[in-house]
């Protein structure tokens, strides 16, 4: 319907907006590829430009590929920005080359900005010309997502590239103020990620903590936090900073209220309180420079540390598959936040059999009604032939077995499970299935793929989809009695696994262990790990702990709850998903069973014990090369257990005698638990 001609002001406003759009379209812009070149040459990320221009990272990416063009005032601002970048990159505007290290680096007063071009307050290298000095002096520019703060005669920031910057911070508040102005940050792992993905990390050494008036240890060992009445916290509050509900512990997050849609938040790590030596972090003693380097590698390969390695594993899932995404309203063209269908955005109740024993849904539940999809703890006595022919046992441990099992695994997303009676099994639908597999005929030389004990099932039980899918593969009749099915599903953990895999392989390569090498060369390279760079070995351990802990967080248990069947805080998180963890464990278990079964059928060699992802085999010689077939290229046989660095392949866990194995077994122990360290 035509607009009311009497509303003259509104009509004129629309006309003015149209003219402004037409005028903006005439503002020239460099070609798309040149836009990207100018940005990258200046060391700027798409997220930084988006923040300056008040748009989304996706918009910058679209402008740099030519998929879309900026409109109206934003086009003018973008053109001005690109022209500024071009001017700064011309020879007469370039400063002197940077010096190495902290030599002749003037100290910056924390809380005060050094002089820098106003167009790029947090990203342009700082140069200044003192009155009594003709040549300009280069000032170290904070770089990377984090800084390690140490103290000798003064506080000094150590950055991930090896550079250092003395600071004149008087207290923690002024250090935080410097951090927020420093430009320390990293890009989001997903364009739709949360702002907290980019928060800088400040790591305080014990010397720095003491200089900032923090106690050497936490008196509150139960809650692991500084008392709210502590003078440091009082001073932070007076300076306008707030803490999250978890308070000021080993990994506190400090923030200021959001203003002008800009976040002001800093993650701290207090090493004196165990921030990097507990909870999955077992880094060796490192200098501030080496600590910044290793944490920088962890940040580049996974994410900036946020807490325990388990917390980091969980946060990595959320950072790669955020709970929300940007959505453009088709009616008004405005961007709003909407649930991300590929992420986990809704806290769901588990199906009754999936609930842990402490969960309210487990009240009154019979033991046989609880799902028990767990890793193996199984052992058997060697037979007479094995005892006579094989003087040794060798442990074969699968690399990142459970993380690898998560790759491509379809899991339920954001809809509650659908209960159905007498369903037809469908291996493509994730869920919990109540089914009787006790009629299956199984090889006693292998653990049962259907139970955590490795013993054959004795009646109906609840299974995940991967377990019943493998039963079908074994030609076992599968007729579920009932099921809880998740029709809304997808490969939620695939990108998480791929990032962990790449981080793991890159670190192993730095340690001298490479992909696609003969199995004998792999074993030789692994034996040299013990004498490799301790810092890199600490990084490797942290990466593996991140994978393991992240999956554990999917079924996080209660803390400090004494009353049974009482809800705990983790249940309110969309990432609290015991069904996903159960499916991952199930898939890892049946994958190892498939390899052991095929290898046994081909070689006649069967495992003696399995603990989680480690299998013990009888051997003629004390080496894994005597157990696994070499294959035509000396890299093993596809479908069997193979030696190699890739996730899903195996390493030699340990070697012992058959007599040792028999003694362990007769003591009621699982020898696979002790094969690596027989004196434990």
DSSP 643: B
Contact (Cβ atoms closer than 8 angstroms) between residue 403 and residue 616: no
| SS3 call for 396 | strand
Exposed (0-12), middle (13-18) or buried (19+): which is 665, by Cβ within 10 Å?
middle
User: How many C-alpha atoms does 402 have within 13 Å on its Cβ side?
Assistant: 24
pLDDT tens for 308-346 read 999 999 999 999 999 998 888 888 888 888 899 999 999
Please report which residue ranges of 480-617 form alpha helices under DSSP H.
494-510, 519-527, 534-553, 578-603
**pLDDT computed for residue 131 by the predictor:** 31
What contacts 257, CB < 8 A, 6 or more positions away? 240, 242, 264
Q: Using alpha carbons only, give the angle 674, 676, 679 rounded to the nearest 5 degrees.
A: 60
* Residue 273, phi then psi, degrees to nearest 5: -100, 15
Q: Are 281 and 542 a contacting pair, CB within 8 Å?
A: yes
Question: For residues 295 and 165, is the Cβ–Cβ distance under 8 A?
Answer: no
Q: How far is it, in rounded angstroms, from Cα 172 to Cα 226?
A: 14
Angle made by CA atoms 562, 564, 565, in degrees to the nearest 5: 130
- Give the Cα separation of 161 and 5 in Å (integer): 64
CA distance 471 to 487: 22
- CA 237 centroid distance within chain: 31
Cα–Cα distance for residue pair 125/183, rounded to 1 Å:
11
* Cβ(600)–Cβ(446) below 8 Å: yes
Are the C-beta atoms of 625 and 611 separated by less than 8 Å? no
d(CA 297, CA 316): 15
pLDDT in the model for residue 65? 74
Indicate the helix (H) or strand (E) that contains 263: strand 262-270
> 10-residue block means of pLDDT along the chain (680 residues)?
52 62 69 82 82 81 78 82 84 43 40 34 34 43 94 94 92 95 87 76 97 91 85 94 93 88 89 94 94 96 96 96 87 84 95 96 95 97 96 98 97 97 97 97 96 96 98 97 97 97 97 96 96 96 98 92 86 97 98 98 97 97 97 94 97 97 96 84
Q: What is the pLDDT of residue 50?
A: 82
Q: Give the integer Cα–Cα distance in Å for 388 and 383.
A: 9
- pLDDT for the residue 11: 64
Do residues 670 and 377 touch, judged by C-beta distance below 8 A?
yes
**Residue 74 half-sphere exposure toward CB, CA atoms < 13 A:** 15
> Which tens digit of pLDDT belongs to each residue from 368-405?
999 999 999 999 999 999 999 999 999 999 999 999 99
Widest pairwise Cα distance in the chain? 104
Cα 99 to chain center, whole Å? 35
What the block records as the tokens of 366 is 């019979």
Cα separation, 542 vs 301, in Å, equals 12
Distance between alpha carbon 627 and the CA centroid of its chain, in Å?
34
Q: What is the pTM of this model?
A: 0.80
């Amino acid at each position: 319907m035509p607009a009311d001609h009497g509303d003259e002001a509104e009509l004129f406003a629309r006309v003015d907006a149209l003219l402004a759009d037409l005028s903006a379209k005439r503002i020239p812009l460099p070609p798309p590829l040149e836009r990207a070149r100018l940005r990258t040459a200046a060391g700027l990320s798409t997220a930084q430009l988006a923040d300056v221009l008040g748009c989304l990272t996706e918009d910058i990416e679209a402008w740099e590929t030519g998929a879309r063009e900026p409109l109206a005032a934003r086009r003018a601002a973008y053109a001005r920005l690109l022209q500024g970048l071009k001017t700064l990159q011309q020879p007469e505007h370039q400063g002197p080359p940077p010096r190495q290290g902290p030599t002749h680096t003037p100290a910056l007063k924390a809380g005060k900005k050094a002089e820098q071009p106003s167009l790029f307050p947090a990203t342009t290298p700082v140069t200044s010309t003192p009155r009594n000095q003709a040549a300009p002096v280069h000032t170290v520019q904070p770089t990377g997502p984090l800084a390690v703060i140490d103290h000798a005669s003064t506080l000094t920031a150590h950055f991930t590239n090896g550079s250092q910057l003395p600071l004149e911070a008087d207290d923690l508040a002024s250090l935080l103020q410097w951090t927020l102005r420093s430009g320390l940050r990293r890009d989001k792992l997903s364009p739709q990620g949360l702002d907290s993905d980019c928060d800088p990390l400040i790591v305080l050494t014990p010397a720095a903590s003491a200089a900032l008036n923090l106690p050497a240890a936490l008196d509150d060992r139960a809650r692991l936090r500084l008392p709210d009445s502590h003078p440091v916290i009082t001073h932070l509050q007076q300076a306008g900073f707030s803490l999250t509900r978890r308070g000021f512990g080993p990994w506190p997050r400090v923030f200021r209220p959001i203003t002008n849609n800009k976040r002001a938040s800093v993650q701290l790590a207090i090493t004196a309180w165990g921030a990097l030596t507990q909870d999955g972090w077992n880094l060796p003693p490192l200098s501030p420079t080496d600590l910044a380097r290793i944490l920088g590698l962890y940040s580049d390969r996974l994410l900036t540390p946020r807490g325990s390695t388990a917390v980091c594993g969980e946060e990595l899932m959320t950072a790669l598959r955020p709970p929300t995404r940007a959505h453009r309203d088709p009616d008004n063209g405005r961007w709003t936040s909407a649930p991300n269908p590929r992420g986990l955005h809704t806290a769901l109740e588990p199906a009754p059999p999936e609930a842990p024993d402490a969960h309210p849904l487990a009240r009154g539940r019979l033991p046989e009604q609880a799902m028990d999809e767990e890793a193996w703890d199984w052992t058997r006595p060697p037979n007479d032939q094995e005892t006579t022919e094989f003087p040794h046992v060798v442990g074969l441990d699968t690399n990142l077995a459970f993380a690898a099992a998560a790759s491509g695994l379809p899991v339920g997303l954001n809809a509650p499970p659908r209960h159905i009676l007498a369903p037809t099994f469908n291996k493509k639908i994730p869920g919990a299935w109540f089914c009787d597999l006790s009629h299956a005929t199984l090889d006693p030389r292998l653990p049962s793929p259907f139970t955590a004990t490795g013993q054959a099932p004795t009646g109906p039980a609840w299974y995940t989809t991967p377990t019943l899918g493998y039963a079908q593969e074994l030609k076992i009749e599968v007729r579920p009695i009932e099921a809880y099915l998740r029709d809304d599903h997808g490969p939620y953990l695939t990108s998480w696994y791929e990032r962990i895999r790449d981080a793991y392989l890159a670190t192993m390569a730095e340690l001298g262990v490479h992909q696609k090498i003969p199995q004998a060369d792999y074993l030789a390279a692994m034996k040299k790990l013990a004498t490799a760079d301790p810092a890199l070995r600490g990084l490797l351990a942290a990466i593996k702990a991140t994978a393991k802990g992240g999956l554990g967080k999917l079924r996080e248990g209660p803390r400090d709850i004494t009353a049974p069947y009482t809800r705990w805080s983790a249940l309110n998180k969309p990432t609290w998903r015991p069904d996903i963890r159960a499916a991952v464990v199930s898939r890892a278990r049946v994958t190892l069973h498939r390899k052991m079964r095929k290898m046994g059928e081909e070689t006649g060699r069967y495992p003696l014990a399995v603990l989680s992802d480690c299998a013990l085999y009888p051997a003629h010689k004390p080496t894994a090369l005597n157990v696994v077939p070499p294959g035509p290229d000396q890299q093993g046989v596809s479908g069997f257990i193979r030696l190699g660095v890739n996730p899903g392949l195996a390493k030699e866990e340990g070697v012992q005698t058959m007599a040792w194995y028999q003694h362990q077994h007769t003591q009621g122990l699982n020898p696979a638990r002790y094969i690596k360290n027989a004196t434990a």
